[in-house]
Amino acid sequence: MTRLLALIPGGIGDQFLCFPMLESLQQQYPQAKIDVVVEPRAKAAYRVNRVVQTVLIYNFQGNTGPADWGNLVGAVREREYDALVTLDQKWFGGILLWLMAVPKRIGYAGLPNSKFLTHAIAPTSQPYLAARYHDDLLKPLGVTRECPALSINVPRKDIEWTEGEIKRLELSPEAGYVLIHGGLLSDRESKGLSNTYSVSSWQALIKGFQDRQPDLPVVLVQAPNDRPWFQPIVEDCPGLKVSTPEDLGKTAALIAGAKLMVCTDSNAMHLAVALGTYLFALFGSTAPERVLPQDERFVALRSQTGQVTDIPPIQVLEKIWGK
């Protein structure tokens, strides 16, 4: 095997759940070049990936035409891949797989595109999706190793940015800080209100931290477009630090320096898992076991109503303090 391809629809979080699979491919075939096909919105995930060499862009969700199909098929055929793994499910995606003429085409059985696969795999009941993809889809490629933990590579320039940010915020690297990540505007738009914690709840949570441990700084992470959303929190919580990292690499470096992070089910949650940062993640309708590995460092709090905003801040604080 000298060239391998993975087709991974979805957003950035969906890419993170495939990182262990891609890493095991590299370990099994260390000389192989590993490429991916992803949607435009997911390309940013590969800033912190350690094995993928080329990211090809294709909109799996639609709004594509013959030119897009031809460009993708042409790019794949030109590179002469030995095998591909796909998580795409659509019938037309199967036709594209057939046109790509890759000798081994691996995906899940029982889906509209499965007739175009050379290896259609029945899904197992493994709850954590990263382990399921790894264990199911790599068997035809001879990979029998255990699923590795999610890991990332933070670029050196992003680490240097964070070192400067820590100085700007007057934080002590030794003492650390608590990180609050309320999710990006894009997360709230794609996952809806069920995954959005209210401004008043974040305010109560931050004040609870400040009252309990006044010497431990609390840092709020916000994207530039999210300033209006978070401004009431900043105004209501004196002493709150605010950081605005521009990309996933800088966000990851900031998370790596935190004592713990509180967030919703988001891209930042996956970064914390990859970095081993203590994590309290708030879930709405998503089953936490699908996207979080079993590890005492990563604690999930799931709303009984399916709405994140219905999780009382006092319940989160009691969970953190172990009450």
The whole-number pLDDT of residue 3 equals: 97
pTM of this structure: 0.94
Separation CA 26–CA 21 (nearest Å): 9
pLDDT averaged per 10 residues in sequence order, the chain, 323 residues: 96 97 97 97 96 96 86 96 95 91 96 94 94 97 95 97 95 90 64 76 94 93 82 90 94 96 95 97 94 96 93 94 78
Do 185 and 126 have their domain in common? Answer: no
Question: Which pLDDT score is estimated for 104?
Answer: 97
Q: Is 293 exposed, middle or buried (0-12, 13-18, 19+ CB in 10 A)?
A: middle
Residues 315, 184 share a domain: yes
The pLDDT of residue 144 is: 92
Give the pLDDT of residue 103.
96
Domain presence at residue 170: yes
In a domain, 151, yes or no: no
Query: Alpha-carbon distance 321 to 323, whole Å?
Result: 6
Check residue 40 and give its pLDDT: 95
pLDDT of residue 188: 56
Residue range(s) defining the domain that contains residue 47? 3-141
For residues 10 and 103, membership in a common domain is answered with yes
Instruction: Return the closest-CA partner of residue 69 out of 60, 80, 79.
Output: 60
Same domain, 194 and 302: yes
Say which amino acid occupies 45.
Answer: A
Give the pLDDT of residue 253.
Answer: 96
Report which of 193, 133, 141, 109 is spatially closest to residue 25, judged by C-alpha positions: 141
pLDDT score recorded for residue 184: 61
Q: Could you tell me if residue 186 is inside a domain? A: yes
Q: What per-residue confidence (pLDDT) applies to 195?
A: 76
Query: pLDDT value at position 322?
Result: 82
My answer on whether 248 and 296 are in the same domain is: yes
| Residues 316 and 170 placed together within one structural domain of the fold | yes
